[in-house]
Amino acid sequence: MPIYDSIILTGGNGMLAHALRRAAAHRGHRFVALSRDECDIAIDSHRLNLFELHKPTLLLNCAAHTKVDLCETDRERAMLLNGHAPGLLATECKQHGTTLVHYSTDFVFDGQQSRPYREDDPPAPVSVYGESKLLGEQAIAHVNPPNYLILRTAWLYGRPGQCFPRTMIELAKQGKPLRIVNDQHGTPTLTDDLAAATFDLLDRNASGLFHATNSGSTTWFDFTAALLEEFQVNTSLTPISSADWKTLRPQSATRPANSTLDLSKLQQTIGRPMRDWREALRDYHQQVQSHGF
């Protein structure tokens, strides 16, 4: 891996940032993780202070508006934080010779394709969240800071933090019945595996756009069934369609029917596939048993 004198993480208290912090420490890298209060990337003075005070040679941008449904009604904030601010970060990175790593989403696709999506497939987001994240990708690529990486990932979960697995297990332990969509396909991705892939790519001086998820594909319903099995929790679990969910939650964002990502480019670059999502889920369960959610 290139030598980075100063590694900075924005969104430093988030779920992905915690995994990156663990991965960086494990590999012997020194870093500074900045919370949103310490560095809101949408505020000009915060961005300027980041570069003046810390002089990062590597910037891992985990700051984002990730509440997909809320983005539908909070479009301005989503576009600012997910779209425009990453471009402004990229501009600073280019001026200071800083490598930028940015995280995007499978939601840049409309989900109508039957095969997994490749990096060069045309994006067509069907939600404000997906639209805003695509804008961020385009802004960074347009600025073209040195050796930038954009990693599209999907269905991200990990600890510590609130995520789909934690919500499902907590509801199930309360005896709440679960009605889960069974016609959306994608890949649950453990934050620790995405963090490891990030540093593997940096080790190889990779740059540009990559898809980075765990291997395999499932539905939200089957993912939930696997969660209940893994955590040995019983509750009523019923499959429903996306249309049914939209009727129940008319303000919710539209999700792609198939957002499975093709991982060929990543595997060729780092020399291995990311492990199967079910194996990663077992690891997550062990982490929760040891440390809690």
Which residues are catalytic, by number? Answer: 129
Planar angle of CA 15, 249, 124, nearest 5 degrees: 65
Which letter, b or e, does each residue of 35-71 get, where b requires 16 or more Cβ atoms within 10 Å of its Cβ? Answer: ebeebbbbeeebbeebbeebebbbbbbbbbbbebebb
Q: What is the DSSP string of 49-72?
A: HIIIII--SEEEE------HHHHH
Residues contacting residue 192 through CB under 8 Å, at least 6 positions apart: 19, 22, 23, 158, 280, 283
Which letter, b or e, does each residue of 236-269 get, where b requires 16 or more Cβ atoms within 10 Å of its Cβ? Answer: ebebbebeebeeeeeeebbbbbbbbbbbebbeeb
What are the start-end ranges of the E strands in the chain? 7-10, 31-34, 58-61, 99-105, 149-153, 156-157, 178-181, 185-186, 189-190, 208-211, 218-219, 237-240
